[in-house]
Chain A
Amino acid sequence: MRVPTTRFYLQGIEAFGQQQTKLVKLQQQISTGVRLINPSDDPVAASKVLGLDQTIQMQKQYQDNISIAENRLKLEETVLKSVESMSFRLKELSIQANTATISQGDRDVISVEVKQLLNELIGLANTKDVSGDYLFAGYQSQTEPFSANKTGSIEHVVYAGDQGTRSLQISESRQIQVDNSGSEIFLKIPSQMALNESAAVTNTGSGVISPAQVFDASTYVASNINITFTSATTYNVTDSATPANDVIGATYEPGANIDVGGVRLSITGTPVGAALPAGGDVFTTSTGQYKDAFESIQTFVKTLDESVSTAQRTENYAVFLQDLDNFFSKVLEVRTSIGARLNALESQKDANKADILVTQTTLSTLRDTDLAEAISQLKLEQATLDAAQAVFSRITSSSLFNYLR
C-alpha cells in the first residue's frame, strides 16, 4: 500500500496539534487549580457545582442571620435584666413603705425614687437596637412605643406599638423569633385587680374615659360599674356588686377624680346626657385579666403621695407586691425563652458550620484539580509529544533522494 509523502507530514502535524491541545488544557487546569473550566468538561458536574455554590452561599447567609439574631436577643436580655433589678428595688421600697413607723416625709422620699424608677422603666421599654429601631414596639419600630400620658386626672402610659414580632431565617426550614412585643412584656401582667373600661358604642358625646385603676384595694369588690349621664352636667353611678355605692345626680367635673367602690377613674370631654329611663352616654368598668406594669407603679406612687387610710394603704401595698411578683414572673418567663432561643441559635450555628464544611468538600471534589493526577498526566502527555516529535524527524528525514548521487 502506498503512503503519499504529504500524509507523513500531515499526520505528524495533526498529532502535534492534538498533543499540544491536551497540554494546554492540563496547564490551565494545574495553574488555576480548577478542573472544570468549561461546562463541556463535565456537564453534570458543572450543573451540580452551581447548585452547591448556592447551598454554601445560603448557609453562610444563615450564619450571618444567626449573628444578628444573637445580638438582638442579647440586647433584649440585657434590658430585661435591668428591668428585673428595677423590680427588685421597687419591692424593697414597697416593703420599706409598709413599715408602721414611717412618716409622710419618708414616704415622700420613697415616692421620689419610685417616680424616677418609673421613668427609667419607661426608658428601658423604649430601648432602641443598633439600627435605631425600637425593640419593644412590635412592627412599628420607628414609633416610640411607650409614653406617659394623662387623661383627666389619671396618669397612665400609652402603648403606641403593636403585637407583632420579627423572625429571622436561620436554616432552610427554621425561623427564630428575635424579639418580643412591648405589649407582651409590659402590658399583660395578670392581676386580680385588673380593670377594663369602655365607653358604650351608642355614646354620642365627646366624653372620654381614662383607664380605671383600683385605688382602694381594701374596699374593692369585683363588679361592673356603670356611669350614665343624665344631663350634660350630671351622671348616675351604679355598682353591680355593691348597690350601696350607687350615686344619683353626681355633678360632672371634667377631669376630676371619680372614686367608686375602690375604683378611681376620670372622665373628660363633653358627654351628652339624657334623662332616665333612656339615659345618655354610658361609661363602664368591669373586671379584666391584665394590668400593665406601669399602672401598678403609678397606683403605688398615688398611695404614697395621698393621705389615705391605713387599711387602704396596707391593702394597696399588698396588691403592689403581688403585681410586682407577677411582673417579675413575666419577665423571667421571657428571659427564659430568650435563653432557650439563644441555645437553639448556638446549636443551629454549629449544625450550619458542619453543613458548610461538608458542602465545600463535595464542591472541591467535583470542581478542583487533583494536582497529583494532573501533573502525572502532564508528564505523560509531554513524553508522548516528545516521542511524536522524535518519530516525525526520523521518518521525514529518510528519503530515497538522499541516496541518489
Chain B
Amino acid sequence: MADMFNTAVSGLLSFQRALSTTSHNIANVNTEGFSRQSVEISANSPTLIGNSFMGTGAHVQSIQRSYDQFLSTEVRDVTTVHSRQAKFAELAGHIDNVLADPKGGISPALHNLFSSIQDVADDPSSSTARSAMVSSAQSLSERFHSIDTRFEQLSANTKTEIGAVVNEINTIVSEISDLNLSIKKTSGSSNTTQQSGDLLDRRDGLLSKLAEKVDISVVYSANNNMSIFIGNGQSVLNGTTINTLAVQPSASDPEQDTIVYNGSVGKFDLSDQLQGGELGGLLNFNSAILTTARNSLGRTAIGVAEAVNFQMREGMDLNGNLGQDFFSYTDPQIFSATSNTGTAIVTSDITDIGALTISDYALTYDGINWTILSDKGTTATVANGSPATLAFEGITLSIDGATASAGDSFSIKPTLAGAESINVANTDPRLIAAAAPIRTSSSLNNLSEASISAGTVTNSANLLSGGVIPSVNFSFASATSFTSNATVQTGGFTYAPSDPIPYSQNMKIEANGWQVSLSGVPAANDQFDVQSNVGGIGDNRNVLQIANLQNKLILNAGTASFQDDYGTFVGFVGSQTQAANVSRDAHAMLLDQALNRNAAVVGVNLDEEAADLIRFQQAYQAAAQVISTVQTMFDTLLQSTR
C-alpha cells in the first residue's frame, strides 16, 4: 500500500512537472529563439516481490530541449548570407535614391551648360549669354559637389557602422563566453542532457546575432567547450580565450579601414576574408560600389573640366588674350603608406583624359624600380630616378626617388576628388575664349582666285612669341612658289623665312601652333596673311568647338561622351542595386524556409500544447484519484480491524 501510495505520488509529481513544462512552453510561445521543452517520463526501477517485478511508478528522467544542430547551423549560415545581402542592398539603395531624382542628377546641369555654350556661340559678344554660361558652369560644379557629398556621407556612415559592428561582435563574443561559464556551472556533471535548456537557447540566440554580423563556424567539443571561428579559421572564442577584432586605418591607404584580428601571435588584416554578415556587406559595399561610384563621378567631372579647359586655351577672350582654364580641379590624390621608411616625393597630373580609368593605383618601390599596379591588374614599371617619370593610363607620375627605400609604397587615386573639387576658375564672362586666336585674309590686290582657309589651332602652347601672336605672310613669287616671313612646316619639311616653298593645291601649312590651307590657283604677287584675331569679338569659332564637345567621344579610350560616361555610372549603380535586391529577396526566401524547417523542430504550437495540457491534466486527475483510492483502501483496512 505504501508502495501504491508512493507510486501514485510519483505519478502526481511527474505529471505536475509535465504540466509545468507545458505551461512554460505556452508562456514562451512568442519568445524569440525559444526551443520547445518536453518532459521525458520513465518508469521507476521495479522491485522484486516474490518472483515477479512490481512497478514502482514513474519519474521525470529529463526535460528535453527540442534541438537539431544541423538545422540550427543551417539557419545561422543562411542568416549570414541574407544579412550580408540585405545590408548591401540597403546601402546600394541609398546611392540608388541619390540618383533617382531626374532633376537632381548631373544630366540636366550638363545639358544646361552646353545649352548656354551654344547660346554664346549664337551671339559671342553678348555679355548676357556669357554670364549665363558662367552660371550654368557653376551650377554643374555645385551639382557634382552635392552628389559627391552624399557619397562621402555614405562613406563616413559606412565607416562608423563598421566600427559599431566590430564592437558588437566583440561584445557578443564576450557575452557568449560568460554564458558558457554559466552553462558549465549549472550543468553539474559533464552529462550534456542536463544542461539548462533556457541558457542554451540564450546562447543560440547570441550565436544567431553573431552570425548576422559576420560569418562564423561553431565547433562543440568535449566538456561543454565551444569554439567560434571566423574568416579563414581564426578563432574569436576558444574555450575561454577571447581574441578581439579591431578597426584600423590601412597602412598602405589611410583612407581605407581594415579589420584587424588581435591574435596570440600578432595582429593581422582580416578584411579580405570576411565575406558574410553585415560586416561583409559593409566591406563589400565600400570596395565594390562606393569607391567605384565616387571615382566614376570624378572621372566625368574631370573629363568635362579638362576637355573644356583644353579647348578654352585654344581660343581668344574679349580682351584679346589667349584663353585660360575655365574649370579647376585637384590633381590625383596621393597617400604615402604609414610604413614607409624613405622620403620619396611623388606628384602626379592628369594628362590624357581619354586614357583615364576609374581605378585606384598602388605604387611600390623594390629598391631598383617603381611599379604601379591598378586595382584591375594592369601594371607598368620605371627605374628610379630624381625625377623618374611614368605615364600610365592617363596620369603622369613624377617621382623624386632620391631618398626612397625599398618597400616604400604609395596609394594613388586619380579621380576620387574630381567631383568634389571641380569649380569654375574663371568667373569673369569676358574671359570666355569664344573666338579663334587667328584670322586669315587674302589681299584684295591678288590677281587670282586662290584662297586661304580660316585657320585652326594645332598646339595652343606655341601660339605666342614674346607675348603676342606674330603675323605671318605668304607671298607668291610665281604661281608655283611662295615664301613666308616665318618658319613654317608643310609637306613634312621645315622652311626658314624667305625659303622658296613649292605650292600644291590644298596644301596644309603649319607654323606657331596653327595650321592653314591654301587652295586654288595663285598668281605672282599674291599675298595671304595670318594674324592675331584681336578685336574679333564676333568670332565664335572656338566656342563652337567647345559646344561640340558635348557629343564628342572623349572619355574611356574614345568610346564615351560625358553623358555616356555618366549614363554608364547610373546604369552600374542601378544594376548593382537591382542585383542586390533580387539576391536579398531570394535569400530572404531561403532564410524563411530554413527558419520554417528549424521551427518545425523547435517551435511551440499552441494546439499541441493545449492537447498536452488536457493529457497531463487527465493523468494528474487519475493519479490524484489513485491517491484517494489508496486512502479509501487504508480506511477500509482500518475499518476491518476495529
Contact = CB atoms under 8 A, between A and B. Distances in A.
Interface string A373-401: 00000000000000000000000000111
B563 interface: yes
21 contacts: A2-B608, A4-B603, A5-B29, A14-B592, A39-B96, A40-B573, A41-B574, A43-B571, A46-B571, A50-B107, A50-B563, A51-B564, A54-B551, A57-B114, A58-B111, A65-B118, A132-B125, A141-B538, A163-B442, A164-B533, A401-B610
Contact of B606 (A5, A131, A175): A5
Interface in B75-96: 92-93, 96
A43 B575 contact: yes
B115 interface: yes
B574 A40 contact: yes
B93 to A, nearest CB: 7
B419 interface: no
A139 B536 contact: yes
B356 interface: no
A140 B531 CA distance: 13
Interface string A287-305: 1111010000000000000
A137 B602 CA distance: 93
Interface size range of chain B in the complex: 35 or more
Interface in B540-574: 540-541, 544, 547-548, 550-551, 563-564, 566-568, 570-574
A123 B604 CA distance: 102
Interface string B415-443: 00000000000000000000100011110
B486 interface: no
Interface size range of chain A in the complex: 35 or more
Given A51-B563, A65-B118, A401-B606, A137 B538 contact: yes
B433 to A, nearest CB: 13
B605 interface: yes
B574 A140 contact: no
Interface in B87-121: 92-93, 96-97, 99-100, 102, 105, 107-108, 110-111, 114-115, 118, 121
B201 interface: no
Interface string A175-187: 1000000010001
A142 B454 CA distance: 20
B568 A47 contact: yes
Interface stretch (A166-174, A241-249, A256-264): A166-174
B533 A139 contact: yes
Given A139-B435, A290-B444, A3 B537 contact: no
Given A163-B442, A166-B539, A39 B605 contact: no
A396 to B, nearest CB: 11
Contact of A140 (B99, B535, B563): B535
Contacts of B54: none
Interface string B120-133: 01111110000000
Interface in A171-212: 172, 175, 183, 187-188, 196, 198
Contacts of A44: 571, 575
A53 interface: yes
Contacts of B121: 65, 168-169
Given A39-B574, A53-B107, A133-B538, A163 B440 contact: yes
Contacts of A58: 111, 114, 550-551
A57 to B, nearest CB: 4
